[in-house]
Amino acid sequence: MAFQSSVNPAQLTQLGQANLAGETRALYLKLFSGEMFKGFQRNTIARDLIMKRTLKNGKSLQFIFTGRTKSEFHTPGNSILGDSNNAPPVAEKTITVDDLLISSAFVYELDEVLSHYDLRSEISRKIGYALAEKYDRLAFRAIARGARKASPISATGYVEPGGTQIRVGATTNDSDAYVASNLVSAFYDAASALDEKGVTSDGRVAVLNPRQYYELIQAVGSNGLVNRDAQGTALQGGNGIIEIAGIKIYKSMNIPFLGKYGTAYGGTTGVTAPGNTGDFVGESLEDASDLQTGINNDYGTAAQFGSKSCGLIFQKEAAGMVEAIGPQVQVTSGDVSVVYQGDVMLGRLACGCDYLNPAASVELYVGASAPSDF
């Protein structure tokens, strides 16, 4: 006699159903969305450190620069009709959205059934990581490029300050980038340069690679780099450094660093690779000029970018990020899922980044000469 279940299918708890009604897998999409957004937000730092604008019904966004004007004493009887040189001068910067940036994976339904862990959650986090990595890399390249540029305001007699490049150390060795005293001196030079160029002190930040950051932590003591309320566990956890010269410090593996992303080993760096670094640690800079497929802003080729950049110090106005889409999530369902017995999980983002105010950008470099403009 065949076994018959006494359980009414209507009594089954449907964990993917919204309010006990409708599609039984409806909430799974929300789980994926949440995990993807968490992965993106936790791994991108540039998004909150630069100017971000949302673009609708267009392909580019215009930013306006207004230069300074002059004051003068009024001569009694003279009409006041504005500055005789038509000041202040005005210039523009246009940032175009690059092509759609995506990260995707196909999840076979049988693999989900057989897996002993949450397959979708794990994949969705990695999709978020991939989008965040590219987002930060493009933003930091734009900031570094801005540090090499003159101001868009170039009217005679009204030329505004441009970007700043500061040498770290005094030798030609790349290892200068890791010397804490060199970095501290560079920070104070950068703060002075930003003050001299009229850049507000609000929102000044620095992004270094992890080894530079930890070199500063090891060198702390009486130099005032550590918050006295954040000793012990906080210091050991790498959270002790608050700021140098009013500049808050972040660490990232996505800054241009000696021709690589985030870290470089061997040669004159004086740093030995820890071994088993895989394919992505110390990844070389790629060509990312506007001649590359999908890119509509110029982030520079590997050759143009050079191999001496070793850190960034900037204020929020240094660069702008224009976002037309996202980050967003899409997942297949219905007939498509039936045909392929699985779902395509897609994270997408449409954005573009470029420098805005060069005066707000400082590029740290090592070697005898500063990296060239492009």
Q: Which two tokens stand for residue 141?
A: 């390249």
Q: Which two tokens stand for residue 85?
A: 């040189």
pLDDT score for 358: 95
Residue 213 φ/ψ region, left for φ over 0, alpha for ψ in the -120 to 50 degree band, beta for the rest: alpha
CA distance 341 to 109: 6
Phi, psi of 101 (to 5 degrees): -100, 125
pLDDT tens sequence for the chain (374 residues): 555 555 555 555 555 666 667 766 565 555 556 666 677 777 789 999 999 988 887 888 888 877 777 777 878 888 777 776 777 888 888 999 999 999 988 887 776 666 655 777 788 888 889 999 999 999 999 999 999 999 988 888 888 999 999 999 999 999 999 999 999 999 999 999 999 999 999 999 999 999 999 888 877 665 556 554 445 554 444 454 568 899 999 999 999 999 999 999 998 999 999 999 998 898 999 999 999 999 999 999 999 999 999 999 999 999 999 999 878 888 888 877 787 888 888 889 999 999 999 999 999 999 999 999 99
CA distance 143 to 163: 10
Q: Which two tokens stand for residue 15?
A: 């964990």
CB 69 within 8 A of CB 319: no
Helix 180-196 and helix 210-218: axis angle, to 10°?
Answer: 110
pLDDT score for 235: 47
Choices 1.20.272, 3.90.1690, 2.60.40, 1.10.8: CATH for 26-67+86-365: 3.90.1690
Q: Which H/E stretch holds residue 11?
A: none
Domain parsing of the chain, residue ranges: 26-67+86-365
CB 176 within 8 A of CB 267: no
